[in-house]
Each structure stands twice: as C-alpha cells, then as structure tokens.
Structure 1
Amino acid sequence: MRTTPAILLAVMALSAPAHAQPAESALSPEPLPGKGLSEHSFLYCGEYEHNADQQTVHLIRGGKEVWSHAVKFRVVRDEKPDIQELGDCTLLPNGHVLFTTRFGAMEVTPDKTVAWQYIAPSGTEVHSLQALGGDRVLLTQNGNPAKLLLIDRKRNVVERSLIVPVGKPESVHGQLRRARMTAAGTFLVAHMDMNQVVEYDDAMKPLWALGVESPWHAVRLKNGNTLVSSNKGFVREVDGMGRVVWSFTRADAAQAGYDLRNVQEVSRLANGNTVLANWVAGSLKPAQWPGTVQVLEITPDKKIAWALREWDSPNLGPATSIQLLDQPAGELQR
C-alpha cells in the first residue's frame, strides 16, 4: 500500500442507515446457504455471552466440535465484580491456542495447560492479540496510556512498548479493538473512540488515516487495500486514497433476509470471499439470539455463500472471532 508522510483522511459517508429491530422470525432465512458446521474447519470465540457462566473457545473440524476451552465469565477485578470477554482467538501451527480475555491473554496447549499468560495491569484491558510468527505476538492494551506491546512469549519479555493515542483516555473499554502489524512493519489500528483507522510507522508516526464510524477491525490486504469492519453494521474495502471499492451493509444483509448487527472480526479468503462475525449480544435479547446467524461468508458480488447459525450442539455463543483453518497456507487475511 502506498503511504505518504502526511495523513490521508478519507471523507466518507460514515453513518449507517437507521436499523429498526425486526421481528424475531425475520432475523435469518430458512434454509441457510452452505453446509453449516461442515462448510469450513475453524476456531471460534465470542465476547459477552452473558447468559452463561463461562466464555468458550470452540475448535470445529469435520462438522464437529473437537476441542474447547472455557474461562470464567464473572470474575473479581480490582476488588470489584466484573466480566471477562473472549476477543481475539488464533490456532497456532503447533496446536496451541492464543486468545484474549479482556483482562489479559493466554496461550493454552491441546491438553489445556497454560503455556503463557499475560495479566493486564489494573485499569487496562486487552482485546487484540496477533501472532507474528515464532514466539512473538503483538498485544494491544487499552488504558491511560494505551499501548502496543511486542512480546516474546518464550522469554516472557516485552520487547517494545509503543504508546497509542486515543480519543478518551479515561474511558478505557471503548478505546481500541483490533490492531495489526502489516507485512510492511507498520501498525494498523482501529480507533473506536476516534472514529478512525490509522496506520502508524514503527515510531508511531501516523502515515495514513481513514474516517470510519466506530471501526472494530482493519486488515491490510495483499492487494494493498484495507478491509474495515464497524460496530455500525458494515464492512468496507477501501483503496489507498480512501475510496470504497467494495462494501457490505445492513441493507445488503436485510435484502438477503439477514439481520446484521455489530460486525466484529472480518477476513478475506483465498477465493476472494469475505467472512464476518455478526455480534448480536449488545442489541438483542438472549431469547432472540438463536434466530440470528453468527457468521456470514459473502462473495464479491454480495451473494451469501455460507451462513452459520449454531446456538445448540454446540452453542457457539455470540460471534467475535473466527479463524478458518482450511485456507491455503498464508492465504487467510485476518
């Protein structure tokens, strides 16, 4: 992606269309396209499953859950009752699983031994964790100040600590969600509280910025474009000038019969399709969740290739993170 020394702030129509809550029967169609759990092998987790005592990471292969790992939902944090959230989950080549818990991050083995753990300091939160290869990870820590931490898990050493500007230093939870190191060594950060996606160099100097209402995840694609998701229910692919070259909105979803809420993780597949996590826990009652889809796979011409609605056997819970495991090596862009 071409960048310039100055910030390029795209002027875009940020507001999503008004979204009336549909009747429960209209939350998703019957039958769904694709083969359900058998469509892909994947690792899945989600935040704020507030009708359960645990938050669970699920590993699906061959249409079945073959492994899971749970953490407590309700905990005591800073001597006060609080809740954990699963937010960024990745299966590593060695079979270990990385995930964030809001108050830290963990690496667990297939036998559920904790191989590494990061406990976030008081007053901070962790919602983003990127595996960089080998033992290194990029961990994003909301706080005052917010930070990007480059960590060597094997040595349990923070190699670099980079301060990230935020819009509301005192409002920790809503500052940031995903941040990713790009192939060029820059940092792409979704600033929820600044309504911007910003790309920084390794000295945290802004190189590029894009105006997006409440961005949740941003991915630098191999074609140089940037794929962005939003809490406001849309995905956009933009070029280096900030021009929208592809999008999928609530209106597009509704036209196909789906209720689209907060779009959290988004990824691009080898075949050009886009996969998104449709998080519904913040705006629908738990009784309505089973009528919704948690995941959509969308073709470039906006057809729904796969829709996943799995709230029983297993109950995957609300959708935040999904890593498809059947993609050619290096081809899943997330």
Structure 2
Amino acid sequence: MISRSLITKIFVICIVQITAVESFVLAQQATDSEVASKIDLSRHDFLYAGEAKVQDMYIVKDGKVVWEHKGPRVEEYLGEISDAVMMTNGNILFAHQYGITLINQKDETLWNYKAPANTEIHTAQPIGKKHIIYVQNGNPAKVNVMNIETNKIVHSFIVPVKNPDNTHGHFRHARLTKNGTYLLAHMDLGKVAEYDFDGNEVWSINAPGVWSAEPLKNGNVLLCGSDRWIREVNKNKEVVWDFKLDDHPQYKMTSPQIATRLDNGNTIINTWFSQWGDKLDLKNPPIQVIEVTPRKEVVWVLQSWEDPYLGPSTTIQVLGDKRISEHAHFGNIK
C-alpha cells in the first residue's frame, strides 16, 4: 500500500514539473512574440540574393517583391550567388561561382564572363561603367580588373592562399575602400588584408573563420564570419564595437556571412542557411537578416520563407544606401 507521504511527494513533483513546463512555454511564447514584433518586410527596400542551389535574386519595395531573377532550373549545378550589386542605373552585377554576369531589370544579359577552368569567382564590384574588379580563386589566386567593353583584363596581381588546390575555400568577399585600396577577406588563411594597386599588402589583421570584411566610412573595418562574432576594428586592430550572435539565442541565426553598416549607423547581418546540409523547418525557420543598433538592440528581422519566399541569405543591399555603387576607384582606374 502506498503511503500518504509518498503520494504527497509524487503530487509535489508533478506540480513542479507542470510549472516548469508552463514556464518554458510562456518563455518560448515571449521569445516568439519578441522576434515576431521585429519582422517587417516593408522596413527597407532592398536587393536580396543568397548562396543556394538556384541563382535567384529579388528586389523588395514597400514590403512586396517587385522584381525577381530566376536562375535556370536544370539538374546541372550552375553555381551559387555569393555577391550582387545594384548600380545606380538599376543594372545588377552578380558573381555566381563559375562566372560574373551583368543584367538589367528586364532580365536581359548585358555582359557575361565565364570563369576559367579550375577557378571560381565569388565576389565582384563595378568601377565606373567600364570596369569591374573581382577575385579569382584558383592556383594561383588573383585579383583582376577587367574592361567589360573590351573583355580584356587591364590589371592583375597574385594573392596568397593557404592551400592553392582548395579552390572553393579561398575567398568569398572583397570591397574597394574610399582610398582606392582593396580589402580582401582571406577565408582559408583566416585573415583580412588590404592591398594597394600594385598588390602590396598595406594592412592586415588575423580573423579566423572570416567570411567578409567591409570598409567603413570612418576608416574602420567590419568583420563577419563563422565565429559568429561581428566586430568593428580600427587600423590599430582594436575592437571598437561588436555583436555576438550567441548572446541573442532568441533569434535563430545560423551561419553569418556578410555584415554591412547602414547610413543610419545600424548594422545589417546576413545569416545563411545551407540547402545542402540542412532541412528547412517552416514551423521554426531560421532568420535571414537582422538589423542591430550601435547599442546592440535588434530592431529588424527578416524571416521570409513563405509568401514571399526569398531563400537563403548571403547579401542584401538596402536601396538608396550609397555604400555600394560604381562610384569607386582602384588606383587610377575609375
């Protein structure tokens, strides 16, 4: 026969467990509510693309998709979009692993370049209307400037890598600075280096796991990568601002790739979802983009996997942001 004291203990344990479950549910509901309150597709107008099994891109305005580029639907893998830039005339330049393409918003191809055999191209930026600068992963890896009117490389230099034969792991992102130098995230070397026109390294910082490096207006550099630690560093290599994704577990962020600084001082962080290694759970989908204030407050969340479906997130360009355009120079090339 079960004693009265044992029954009482069992009853108390059950009450404690029920209370714990209720507390967890309430906490989860509060977390879900916090995230949901930040979701607003109309906060920014933007160009959006990501590394995916198909080469799709979208322009969102006033919370609606107003333009889309759908890559070919074929069984053959054609490469992933790692970089996309909208120019001031509305044309879009994008790097897609095995080449670079320039299109207009009628979806007409204006220019296309196929990467040489055994090389990959994941990042490209326009310089004026005639030139583009890009990084060519390969053995050897190179920084090239091409005249897209003549299809001729007008400037080139070799950059170091850790493993010359591991082409896919060399580089993903690079950007010109306001001083006409080139800031390059060495993914396999775990460092960021700044190069002058002649290919001389003029500044560098160790950054294990780095995916992207963005030059800022104040001369500092914004780093982002697999360590899930977004940080702004100055030229003395001191961290002057940072944001650690793991300090904000209520936001389901997977793999950060590119962080950019908006004109309003906020930071936008793209977090990528792998279509190759992960299964998308539409009941609890990952966040694609967050916007963070200088005080580290999350003020915007992009989580759009249905109606509209935007797909994995790698790069987002807020329209009207002057951070990226063809108004750049590299040495005397403008």
- TM-score normalized by structure 1? 0.83
The change in CA–CA distance for 1:29 and 1:118 in structure 2 (over 3 A counts) is farther
Partner amino acid, structure 2, of 1:183: K
Q: Is the 8 A contact 2:58 2:65 kept in 1?
A: yes
Deviations 1:185-230 (A, max 9, x none): 2111101100100111222121111111121111111111111111
The change in CA–CA distance for 1:153 and 1:75 in structure 2 (over 3 A counts) is farther
- Residue 258 of structure 2 is aligned to residue 269 of structure 1: no
Aligned position for 2:229: 234
Deviations 1:264-311 (A, max 9, x none): 121101111000101121664223695211000000010001000000
Candidates 124, 127, 136, aligned match of 1:129: 124
**Pairing 1:33-112 to 2, within 5 Å after superposition:** 33-34=37-38, 36-49=40-53, 54-72=54-72, 76=76, 82-112=77-107
Deviation at 1:102, TM superposition (A): 0.7
**Secondary structure at the counterpart of residue 236 of structure 2:** coil
Deviations 1:140-186 (A, max 9, x none): 11011111111222332211122111111010001111112212121
**Secondary structure at the counterpart of residue 141 of structure 1:** strand
**Secondary structure at the counterpart of residue 248 of structure 2:** helix
Deviation at 1:26, TM superposition (A): 11
Aligned position for 1:16: none
Deviations 1:27-76 (A, max 9, x none): 96654344521010000000024xxxx33100111111111112236665
Mean Cα displacement is larger for which, 27-36 or 103-112? Answer: 27-36
**Secondary structure at the counterpart of residue 267 of structure 1:** strand
Mean Cα displacement is larger for which, 109-118 or 25-34? Answer: 25-34
Q: Is the 8 A contact 2:85 2:324 kept in 1?
A: no
Deviations 1:84-142 (A, max 9, x none): 10110111111111111110010111111100101001100111011222222111110
Q: Is the 8 A contact 1:189 1:197 kept in 2?
A: yes
- Higher RCO (CA < 8 A, seq sep 6+): 1
Mean Cα displacement is larger for which, 120-129 or 134-143? Answer: 134-143
Structure with the higher fraction of residues in helix conformation: 2
Candidates 304, 307, 330, aligned match of 2:301: 307
- Residue 179 of structure 2 is aligned to residue 145 of structure 1: no
Q: Is the 8 A contact 1:96 1:107 kept in 2?
A: yes
Aligned length: 298
Q: Could you tell me how far apart the structure 1 residues matched to 2:73 and 2:314 are?
A: 15
Partner amino acid, structure 1, of 2:318: L
Q: Could you tell me how far apart the structure 2 residues matched to 1:268 and 1:210 are?
A: 19
Partner amino acid, structure 1, of 2:272: W
Q: Which runs of 5+ in 2 are unaligned?
A: 1-27, 326-334
The change in CA–CA distance for 1:26 and 1:192 in structure 2 (over 3 A counts) is farther
Partner amino acid, structure 2, of 1:227: L
Aligned position for 2:161: 166
**Secondary structure at the counterpart of residue 251 of structure 1:** helix
Partner amino acid, structure 2, of 1:301: R
Mean Cα displacement is larger for which, 244-253 or 220-229? Answer: 244-253
Structure with larger Rg: 2
**Secondary structure at the counterpart of residue 138 of structure 1:** strand
Q: Could you tell me how far apart the structure 2 residues matched to 1:322 and 1:39 are?
A: 13
CA RMSD, Structure 1 to Structure 2 (Å): 2.4
Q: Is the 8 A contact 1:290 1:310 kept in 2?
A: no
Q: Could you tell me how far apart the structure 1 residues matched to 2:316 and 2:143 are?
A: 22
Q: Is the 8 A contact 1:75 1:84 kept in 2?
A: no
Q: Percent identity?
A: 36
Q: Is the 8 A contact 1:231 1:262 kept in 2?
A: yes
**Secondary structure at the counterpart of residue 286 of structure 1:** coil
Q: Which runs of 5+ in 1 are unaligned?
A: 1-23, 77-81
